[in-house]
Amino acid sequence: MINIEKNDAGLYVIGNEFFSAEENTRGTRDKFWLVPGQESSYPRMLFKCNRSEKTCENWGEIIASAIASRVNVPCVTYVGASVLENGEVKTGVICESYKNNSEISELSGYSLVSAVANHIYDNSIDMFYTGELNTVDGFINCINQYAKFMECEIDANEIEQCRNDLIKQALFDFILLQADRHWLNTTFLLAKSDSKISITKSKCYDNGCICFLKRKLEGVQGISTQIKAEIRKRKQSDSLKYQLEKYIPFFGIKTTLVKFDSKTYSHNSMIPRIVSCGDPEAKEMFLEELTHEILNNPEIAHFYLGLKQKLNYSKETKTLDLSDIFQSLQTPQDIIPEGVEYLVNQIMNYQVNTIDELIKVKRAKIVQQKEIEDEEQRSV
Amino acid sequence: MKIALYIKELTLGYLEYNNNYYFTADESNIQVAFKKYPIDMMLFSLNKAQTKEYKYVPQNFLQYLEATAREDLRLKADIKDEDSEFVKLYKLAGLKICPENFGIRQA
């Protein structure tokens, strides 16, 4: 836990170092940049305050970044922090920027979608782009449209790598039940060299809303206790199953271009503002997309198997074992609230089993299909 | 009251309000910015005419307008419910803000 204190001169102090503050206007959470002095060896750091003292979002950030680091998903590292300001203590997390080079430009999903939408408007192009962006390929198509509109060349291999990185992030999000992966929470980094533009996906950030940890602590503990009681009685939790079947979070990039205000047809309303995957069908499609990638894309298959292995998956019990990760995060000063570890464990195991079951069904269908084809060939 | 829109060290123009929004572009700075920061400027779409009129808040200011709803920023910038959209933006521009692709400040 890093303790930060605001002094009488309005500067923030960490140990013997002084930082000035710069506001960060993104998102809904109270947050600001800590800017070090010119001679300081510290980087710029972002302090993100919990929405309320009673939520576990700080632990969401810390746990997600520890798991990401274990399974090789590039992610900003979050550390617990508190700020003492005007006699009030704010709890949250601190992290470095995902952009470590000021020469690199960033293109958030929001800017990307807005640029494409504006280009359509400015050039009076009919709304030909009616594709939903709630698939990775929909979003990748948007990058291609962007490059075309801006008359710049982006290497196809780099776009393919961005696609794979997005799918890995989407899988990671699904397994951790990420509820906040909207278009401002996915960014690409652009650098210009000669006439070409190089594009990479930035590290993951803003992962606090995993595994229901956005809820208040008593809510988290309530669900956790209920699941524990059900499993003790019946070896499975109906309430967890119910919660996860009913729950439709913003997995992956769930953005749409078609929900603009067609009545006013104004410049403003052309900018898509609704982030949604709010129906069970979209959720099903998302799972379908992920399992399709695992079965057909070697890089993603390798990533998924590696993820399970690195999280100590046991074939016998069909469970992940995250205890070593939780142990490494806990110190006498930073005690993970009761119920959090249990809930994260249960949710991640449920999600991995959901993926595995669908893969099993799909594989069985492929085998069946193959047998039918072989049979037909034999009879011919 | 004017709100300056800038990228790095270059002011790209000024936003004012009089029933509609008016953005007065600094054409020479915009030309320099396109040469110096081509990637970031790909997202810039206001340089169609020296003065452009908008019914709604222009796109490059939109994210900042959304930020005027955030409680901590409202408190720091003294933004009130009864303030107009433009005044909210102007007050926010008075804070020291880490710029996104484009920054705003009071002019």
Report pLDDT digits (tens) over A28-76.
788 999 999 988 889 999 999 987 777 888 999 999 999 999 999 999 9
Give the nearest chain A residue to B71 (CA atoms): A30
Which residues does residue A107 pair with via DSSP β-bridges, in sequence order?
A: A188
| Range among A121-125, A246-250, A348-352 with highest mean pLDDT value | A348-352
Contact B74, B54 (CB under 8 A): no
Which residues does residue B5 pair with via DSSP β-bridges, in sequence order?
A: B13, B104
Which site among B100, B101, B102, B105 would you substitute to test the A interface, given the most A Cβ atoms closer than 10 Å to its Cβ?
A: B100
Sign of CA dihedral A91, A344, A73, A203: negative
Q: Characterize the bridge pairing of strands A2-6 and A12-14.
A: antiparallel
How would you label A33-54 residue by residue, b for 16+ Cβ within 10 Å and e otherwise?
bbbbeeeeeeebbbbbbbbeee
Q: Are B72 and A49 an interchain contact pair (Cβ–Cβ within 8 Å)? A: yes
Interatomic CA distance for residues A170 and A168, integer angstroms: 5
Strand B3-7: give its sheet, edge to edge: B51-54, B20-25, B10-18, B3-7, B103-106
Interatomic CA distance for residues A344 and A328, integer angstroms: 15
CB proximity list for A113: less than 8 A, separation 6 or greater: A133, A142, A183, A255, A257, A271, A272
Contact A290, A170 (CB under 8 A): yes
Q: Is the pLDDT of residue A256 over 70?
A: no
Structure tokens at B96: 């020291």
Query: Per the structure, how many domains does chain B have?
Result: 1
Which site among A11, A23, A24, A113 would you substitute to test the B interface, given the most B Cβ atoms closer than 10 Å to its Cβ?
A: A23
Sequence letter at residue B74: R
Q: Is the pLDDT of residue A129 over 70?
A: no
Q: How many residues does chain B have?
A: 107
CATH of span A2-96 = 3.30.200
Q: How confident is the model at residue A363 (pLDDT cuts 50, 70, 90)?
A: very high
B38 closest CB neighbour out of A31, A110, A192: A192
Q: For a pLDDT cut of 70, what percent of chain B falls above it? A: 95
| pLDDT, tens digit, 9 for 90 and up, residues A284-315 | 877 888 999 999 999 999 999 999 999 999 99
Q: Is the pLDDT of residue A12 over 90?
A: yes
Mean pLDDT of chain B: 89
Residue B28 domain boundaries: 3-106
User: Where in A64-213 does DSSP place strands (E)?
Assistant: 78-85, 88-96, 105-108, 153-154, 187-193, 196-201
Q: Are B63 and A192 an interchain contact pair (Cβ–Cβ within 8 Å)? A: no
Start-to-end CA distance of chain A, whole Å, equals: 71
Give contacts of B40 with chain A, Cβ < 8 Å. 105
Interatomic CA distance for residues A175 and A152, integer angstroms: 36
Interatomic CA distance for residues A26 and B63, integer angstroms: 8
